[in-house]
Structure 1
Amino acid sequence: MRPTRLRLVAFLAVAAASLAACGGGSSAGAGSSSSAAAPSESASTPAATAGAVKEGLKIAILPKAINIPYFDAAYAGAQKACAEIKAECEQIGPTQATGAAQLQFINTVIQKKYDALVISAADANSVVPALKKAQDAGVAVVTYDADVADTSARSVMVKPTTPDLIGKSQVDWISKAIGSGGGEIAILSAAATAENQNAWIKIMEAELAANHPELKLVDTVYGDDDAAKSAEKAAALMQSHPNLKGIISPTTVGVAAAAKYISGSKYKGTVQVTGLGLPSEMKAYVKDGTVKSFGLWDPGMLGYLGVYAAGVKASGGDPKAGFKAGDKDYTVDGDGVAIVGPPQEFTAENVDQFTF
C-alpha cells in the first residue's frame, strides 16, 4: 500500500489538552483520555505483558540534545508516564546532538544510581560501551527515537513508526508537492551517524529509484540538528544545485530551518520543502504556501512508552515479553522493538487541529 493513502484515522486526534504546555514549555498528551493515540502496529489485544512496575523508580531521559521542541514533547510524555507509575523522572543531556556529548550524561546516570535510562542515541555506535557499563551497574536501558547498533546494549527500542512508512511517505509528499514535472531534489538530514536518519534515507533512495523516475536525488547534506547549520546547508544546496525543485528533511530541526530559509528567499514557490516536522513550528510555512505538506507522529508517545518499558525492566520484568502502557498493551518484536504507529500527514486543511 502506498503511503499516500495513509490518513491515519487513528494517529492522534489531538484535543485541546493534547501536548498542552506542561511546565517549561514541554507538552504531551501521551496516554491521556483526551488523546486518541492510535493502537500501534505493535499493539495487540491481549498482549503478553511483562509484569507490574514498582513505585519510586528514578528514571533519566537522555535525548540527542536538550532544548529541541521535538524532544521536549517526548519528555512531556515521559513525565506523564512517570507520574502514572509514581517514578522520579528527569531529563538530562547535551546541547549538541553527538554521541560523544552524551557519554558524560550516561556516566552521570551510573554515578547517581538511576534505576533506568531512556535514551535517543545520537550515535548508534559510540554510546554502546557506556550503555553496557550502565547495564552492568544495574541500570535498565531503553532506547527511543534512535536505536544503537548493538541491541544487547538496551532492552527495548521504542520506534515512532516503521522506517519503510517514514521513508516512502516523505518521497510521496515531495512528489505531490513538486507535481508531475518532477525535477532535482536533495535531502537535508541530521547527523551523518544517526541510525534512524540513515535508515530512512536508504528507503527513500530505494523508493525514488523504484517508483519515482521523475525525481532525481542530487545531494544529501547534514545539519546536525542545529537550526543555524541546517539553514546554511539549505542555502548551500541552492547554490550548488540551481535547478533544485525540492528538499526533504527527515528531522524537525532541519525541516523548520529549511522552510524558514526558503520562505524568506527568492526560491519560495519554486522549491518545495517537506519532511518530519512539528505542527507548531511548521504551521506558518504551510499557511504562507512554502510547505504543501509534511508529517510526523506523536513524539510524546515515544517518551511515554519508553518510561513504561524501562519501568518494567527496572522492576525485574522483561518488557520484551510485551508491556502495558496506560490502558494499552504493546507487543515487542524479535529485535526488541515496539512501534508507536504510522506517520500523520499535515496539510493546510488539517494542521490547525494539532497543537504539539
Structure 2
Amino acid sequence: MRAGNTRARLVAAAVLAALALGTAACAEDTGGDPGSETGAGGMKTGLKIAFLPKQVNNPYFTTSDNGGKAAVEEFKGVYSETGPSEASPSAQVSYINTLSQQNTDVIVVSANDKDAICGALNEARTAGAKVVTFDSDTNPSCRDLFINQATAEGIAQNQVKLIAEAVGPDGGEIAILSATANATNQNAWIELMKAELAQPEYAKLKLVDTVYGDDQDQKSFTETQALLAKHPNLKGIISPTTVGVAAAARYLSGSTYKGKVQLTGLGTPNQMRAFVKDGTVKAFALWNPADLGYLAAYAGGALSSGLITGKEGDRFKAGKLGEFTVGKDATVLLGDPYTFNASNIDQFDF
C-alpha cells in the first residue's frame, strides 16, 4: 500500500505540475503586449491612428476620414479624428503637437501648407509617430508616405478636358475657383492646368482669373458671384475643390447664368447630384474619398507595424483595395480620377 500510495502521490504531483505549467503558459500567451498580436494585413493591433484633415465638418473629409475609420477597425486599431474648423496651417500645428504628446502611433494629415506644419510633424516623428499625408502633401522631408488620390497631371488634364467639352468648340474665357492660396495640391493642379491650356487643342480657351474661396462655403459662393461681375464674358469655371464647386453650383443654379456659364471641378456625387440633374453642371470628377482615407489608414498601419519602411518598391496589402506598391518620393497612388455625369451619378452614394 505504501508503494502504491507513493506512486499515486508522484502521479498526482506530476499532473499538478503539468497543469501549473500549462496555466503559466496560457497566462503568458494572453498577458503579453496587445501590439504583438496581428490584425488584418499583418498589422499590429491597438495602433492609435489619428486623422487630421484640412478642416473638420467638411463633407469631403468626413467621407475620407470615415473610410479611414473603417480600415482602422478592420485591423483592430484605435481611430480618432481631430482638426481645425477652418483650413488653417497654424491651427493644424497645435493639433499635431497634441497628437504627439498623446503618443499617437500614426498621424494621417491633409496639409493646408506644404511647409508650415513640417516642424511639428518632424517633432512628432522624432517622438515615434509615423506620418502619412493624403489629399494634400507636405514637403517630402516631413512625412513617411504620401497617399496620392490621383496624379497631378491626370487631374489637370481631366479638369481642362471637362471644361472644354462643357463650353464647346467656340471656347471663351474661363476662371479657376480654388481653395486656399497655399494648398499644395491646388497649386500643383493649377500650374499643370495652365500648361494643359497652352496645348493647341485648347487654344480657344483663355484663363482670365484665379480666385480663392478658402474652402469656405459662403466665401466660395461670394467669389463666384464676384467672378461673374468682374468678367461678364466668362464662359466657364473650374473649381477643383469640393466646397468650392458645390458653392459655385448653388450660385449658378439660382442665377441668370445657369446654362450660360459652365462649371466643372472636383466634387462628390451627393453634393452635385441636384446640380447635374437640373443642368447646372454637365460633368465633374473625383476619386472615392472613402477609399483614399481607407488606403491612408492601411499605409500608416503597415509603416507602424514594420511591414514597410516607405522606400520605393515596398508592397503592402490594403484590405478590400488589394495590394499597393510605394513609388518614387515615398508616394502611393490610389488611381485615376473618375468622371460623373447624368448617366452614372445615381450609381454612387458618397
Q: Could you tell me which residue of structure 2 aligns to residue 186 of structure 1?
A: 175
Say whether 1:244 aligns with 2:234. Answer: yes
For residues 273 and 249 of structure 1, the distance between their equivalents in structure 2, rounded to whole angstroms, comes to 8
Shift of 1:98: 1.4
Say whether 1:273 aligns with 2:263. Answer: yes
Stretches of structure 1 that go unaligned for 5 or more consecutive residues are: 1-50
- Matched positions, count: 305
For residues 38-79 of structure 1, the C-alpha deviation after alignment (integer angstroms, 9 at most, x for no partner) is xxxxxxxxxxxxx83100011110000000111011011101
332, 336, 342: which one aligns with 2:336: 342
For residues 180 and 208 of structure 1, the distance between their equivalents in structure 2, rounded to whole angstroms, comes to 14
Q: Could you tell me which residue of structure 2 aligns to residue 296 of structure 1?
A: 286
For residues 132-183 of structure 1, the C-alpha deviation after alignment (integer angstroms, 9 at most, x for no partner) is 000000011100101002x121111001111111001011111111111110
For residues 79 and 319 of structure 1, the distance between their equivalents in structure 2, rounded to whole angstroms, comes to 22
For residues 268 and 328 of structure 2, the distance between their equivalents in structure 1, rounded to whole angstroms, comes to 31
196, 199, 203: which one aligns with 1:207: 196
SS in 2 for 1:180: coil
Say whether 1:144 aligns with 2:137. Answer: no
**One-letter amino acid of the structure 1 residue matched with residue 338 of structure 2:** Q
Alignment of 1:77-116 (within 5 A): 77-116=67-106
For residues 335 and 296 of structure 1, the distance between their equivalents in structure 2, rounded to whole angstroms, comes to 23
For residues 303 and 210 of structure 2, the distance between their equivalents in structure 1, rounded to whole angstroms, comes to 38
Stretches of structure 2 that go unaligned for 5 or more consecutive residues are: 1-40
For residues 98 and 342 of structure 2, the distance between their equivalents in structure 1, rounded to whole angstroms, comes to 44
Say whether 1:332 aligns with 2:322. Answer: no
SS in 2 for 1:108: helix
For residues 223-277 of structure 1, the C-alpha deviation after alignment (integer angstroms, 9 at most, x for no partner) is 0100000011101101110100000000000000000001111111110010000
**One-letter amino acid of the structure 2 residue matched with residue 153 of structure 1:** C
For residues 166 and 103 of structure 1, the distance between their equivalents in structure 2, rounded to whole angstroms, comes to 28
For residues 325 and 316 of structure 1, the distance between their equivalents in structure 2, rounded to whole angstroms, comes to 15
Shift of 1:323: 1.5
Q: Could you tell me which residue of structure 2 aligns to residue 169 of structure 1?
A: 158
Q: Could you tell me which residue of structure 2 aligns to residue 65 of structure 1?
A: 55
Shift of 1:301: 1.3
More helix as a share of residues: 2
**Larger RCO of the pair (alpha carbons < 8 Å, separation 6+):** 1
Asked if 2 retains the 8 angstrom alpha-carbon contact of 1:77 and 1:304, the reply is yes
Shift of 1:314: 1.5
Q: Could you tell me which residue of structure 2 aligns to residue 132 of structure 1?
A: 122
235, 258, 277: which one aligns with 1:287: 277
20, 44, 59: which one aligns with 1:54: 44
Asked if 1 retains the 8 angstrom alpha-carbon contact of 2:285 and 2:340, the reply is yes
Q: Could you tell me which residue of structure 2 aligns to residue 217 of structure 1?
A: 207
Asked if 1 retains the 8 angstrom alpha-carbon contact of 2:307 and 2:316, the reply is no
SS in 1 for 2:92: helix
TM-score, normalization by structure 2 = 0.86
Q: Matched residues, percent identical?
A: 52
Tell which structure's C-alpha radius of gyration is larger. 2
SS in 2 for 1:166: helix
Task: Give runs of ≥4 in structure 1 deviating > 6 Å.
Answer: none
For residues 350 and 312 of structure 1, the distance between their equivalents in structure 2, rounded to whole angstroms, comes to 35
Q: Could you tell me which residue of structure 1 aligns to residue 30 of structure 2?
A: none
Say whether 1:322 aligns with 2:315. Answer: yes
**One-letter amino acid of the structure 1 residue matched with residue 339 of structure 2:** E
**One-letter amino acid of the structure 1 residue matched with residue 227 of structure 2:** L
For residues 242 and 322 of structure 1, the distance between their equivalents in structure 2, rounded to whole angstroms, comes to 52
Q: Could you tell me which residue of structure 2 aligns to residue 355 of structure 1?
A: 349
SS in 2 for 1:335: helix
Shift of 1:318: 2.4
Asked if 2 retains the 8 angstrom alpha-carbon contact of 1:156 and 1:319, the reply is no
For residues 81 and 258 of structure 1, the distance between their equivalents in structure 2, rounded to whole angstroms, comes to 33
Asked if 1 retains the 8 angstrom alpha-carbon contact of 2:65 and 2:290, the reply is yes
**One-letter amino acid of the structure 2 residue matched with residue 230 of structure 1:** S
**One-letter amino acid of the structure 1 residue matched with residue 95 of structure 2:** F
For residues 334 and 273 of structure 1, the distance between their equivalents in structure 2, rounded to whole angstroms, comes to 34
Q: Could you tell me which residue of structure 2 aligns to residue 10 of structure 1?
A: none
For residues 334 and 350 of structure 1, the distance between their equivalents in structure 2, rounded to whole angstroms, comes to 34
For residues 95 and 276 of structure 2, the distance between their equivalents in structure 1, rounded to whole angstroms, comes to 37
Shift of 1:319: 4.4
